[in-house]
């Protein structure tokens, strides 16, 4: 499982925090204003999201380069935003795309005829399953996060770029 850290500029820190509160409440990243803390937190399984603001981090003029030099291999997720409002807008774009939710028996039957991997007694028929993707996030990361929660079934369809989530018994495929 990967751990998500949101690295925010120390100048005006609380403005940045307020700007991304909805994202934080939805996805639960840890917050810090210190690049060193971000680099060491849950290493090497962390992903560090940060607004790419020139001069915002006194330790490093070019934050991505600093991470490469000081902590090679750390996974970065820079966001093109130079203001708290810009960060809020960019993070707000990260919403789930629903591929499939509830399915009628007719729709499920049609899908079974035309594609592999559609269960005859699909949990979609009961409204207990959803197929989703999160643009900007690798579906493998979404799968890992869902699997780590251990709350139901998780199916990973890399070629189709989506993850199936359901409320059935804990399993993965």
Give per-residue pLDDT as tens, 55-99.
Answer: 777 666 678 888 888 998 888 888 888 899 999 888 887 778 899
Residues of the chain within CATH 3.30.1380.10 domain(s) are 97-172
pLDDT at 1 over 50: no
CB 96 within 8 A of CB 75: no
CA distance 9 to 80: 14
Beta 162-166 vs 75-79: how paired, if at all? Answer: unpaired
Instruction: Give the CATH fold of the 97-172 domain.
Output: Muramoyl-pentapeptide Carboxypeptidase; domain 2 (3.30.1380)
């Amino acid at each position: 499982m990967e751990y998500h850290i949101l690295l925010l500029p120390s100048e005006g820190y609380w403005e940045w925090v307020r700007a991304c509160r909805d994202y934080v409440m939805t996805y639960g990243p840890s917050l810090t204003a210190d690049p060193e803390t971000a680099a060491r937190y849950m290493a090497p399984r962390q992903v560090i999201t940060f607004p790419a603001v020139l001069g915002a981090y006194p330790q490093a003029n070019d934050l991505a380069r600093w991470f490469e030099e000081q902590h090679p291999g750390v996974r970065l997720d820079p966001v093109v935003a130079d203001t708290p409002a810009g960060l809020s807008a960019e993070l707000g774009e990260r919403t789930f795309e629903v591929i499939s939710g509830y399915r009628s028996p007719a729709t499920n039957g049609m899908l079974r005829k035309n594609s592999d991997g559609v269960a005859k007694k699909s949990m979609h028929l009961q409204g207990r399953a959803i197929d989703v993707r999160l643009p900007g996030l690798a579906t493998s990361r979404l799968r890992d996060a869902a699997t780590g929660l251990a709350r139901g079934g998780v199916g990973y369809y890399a070629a189709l770029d989506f993850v199936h989530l359901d409320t059935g018994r804990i399993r993965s495929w």
